[in-house]
Amino acid sequence: MDREQLYYTFPDLYEKGHIKTLFDIFNYVRRTPFSEDIGMRVTELNKFIARVETLTLEEIARIASKCHFSLEVAMDLWRKEYEKQKEIRKRK
């Protein structure tokens, strides 16, 4: 399956509970091709993965568009990722 077809499956994967946070998409697609597909350098994307709170709304909207998520779904996935990272930092 090519990447474009894969992106169309993301809403179904979300509905079935396979994608629970924003960066769960990387269980299905590699970072480098995805970053290219959304017009971002992979180093920038890696920075955002490390600290999800640094993503702007515009970047979240680009991710949502590429993954065929509504902005509401993407924001919910972002929030879950943020809470996950926040909890991990709190434990350290």
Taking only the tens place, the pLDDT of each residue in 9-29 is 999 999 999 999 999 999 999
Q: What is the pLDDT of residues 56-83, one digit of tens each?
A: 999 999 999 999 999 999 999 999 999 9
Which of 48, 40, 38 shows the shortest CA–CA distance to 4?
38
| Number of helical (H) and strand (E) elements in the chain, helices listed first | 5, 0
> SS3 for 30?
coil
Q: How far apart are CA 77 and CA 45, in angstroms?
A: 16
**What is the domain partition of the chain in residue ranges?**
3-91
Neighbours of 50 (CB within 10 A): 9
Q: What is the pTM of this model?
A: 0.90
